[in-house]
Structure 1
Amino acid sequence: MRRLLPTLFLACVPFAATAQVTATGEYLARMDTDGDGRVSLAEYQAWMSYAFDGMDRNRDGVLSVDELPGGRGKPITREAHLAQLAARFARQDADGDGFLSAKELAAPPR
């Protein structure tokens, strides 16, 4: 039985990787609003801004201290938030084509 367990584990690894890619493909499909199979900076920023939009209760485009989690931190403007997302997007765009593929979305930012 002890010899069988490592074999069973190794047999399951490819299935786990396939499941992850499928999940990433579904994530890409949700972000890819124009359906071209890749995510542009604008699509990425729109998708990733849901948390900012939800926290900006007074809709003034600034997360003030009382709107931040735990009521701590420095206020952040929507423009600064979008700039942070653009920097993260650029790090994930490994091939530098200005779009994120499913593979680039699945990889951690560089």
Structure 2
Amino acid sequence: MRFPTGNASAKRRLVRRFACLGLAVGVLGTTAQAQVTDTGSYLQRMDTDGDGRVSVEEYVQWLLYAFDRMDRNGDGVLSADELPGGKGPPITREQQRQTLIQRFHKQDANGDGYLSARELAAPPR
């Protein structure tokens, strides 16, 4: 995702919007994906192949669930009325997917392409 060049205010708004969307992941994710209570639970649920770590594909799949739940009309775009707070520019599913991939790579502290329980538990980077 590209940020507008030289427009700090627009960058802050975009970061806040994605932070709100991230909060929605937690809220919506608990409704249909069984509530998780600790990092081990997240790892167990996100790790669909059971190898004890989370790949970028597993991470993105897990977190796009909230986007799909929020996209009430199923058009692949979160419009203002579908966003937390009911305002803001639209977000496409692809934009959100790219944001999640970037977030994954920031959390992957050792750069091995997977998130361990420790990396999942770490504060966002």
Q: 2:94 aligns with which of 79, 82, 103?
A: 79
Larger Rg: 1
For 1:25 and 1:70, locate their aligned partners in 2 and report how far apart those are by CA, in whole Å.
31
Amino acid at match of 2:42: Y
Which residues of structure 2 form unaligned runs of 5+? Answer: 1-36
Count of aligned positions:
89
The answer to whether 1:98 aligns with 2:113 is yes
The residue number in structure 1 matching 2:67 is 52
Sequence identity (%): 71
Structure-2 separation of matches of 1:27 and 1:69:
23
Residue aligning to 1:11: none
Q: Which stretches of structure 1, 4 residues or more, deviate above 2 A after TM superposition?
A: none
Q: Which residue of 2 aligns with 1:64?
A: 79
* TM-fit CA distance, 1:109: 2.3
Secondary structure of 2:45's counterpart equals: helix
Task: State the one-letter code of the partner of 2:62.
Answer: W
Structure 1 length-normalised TM: 0.77
CA distance in 2, matches of 1:91, 1:82: 14
For 1:52, the aligned partner's letter is F
3-state SS in 2 of match to 1:49 = helix
Give the structure-2-normalised TM-score. 0.68
For 1:64 and 1:24, the matched residues in 2 are separated by: 32
RMSD: 1.2
**Long gaps (5+) in structure 1:** 1-21
Indicate the SS of the match to 2:112. Answer: coil
* Matches of 2:84 and 2:117, distance apart in 1: 30
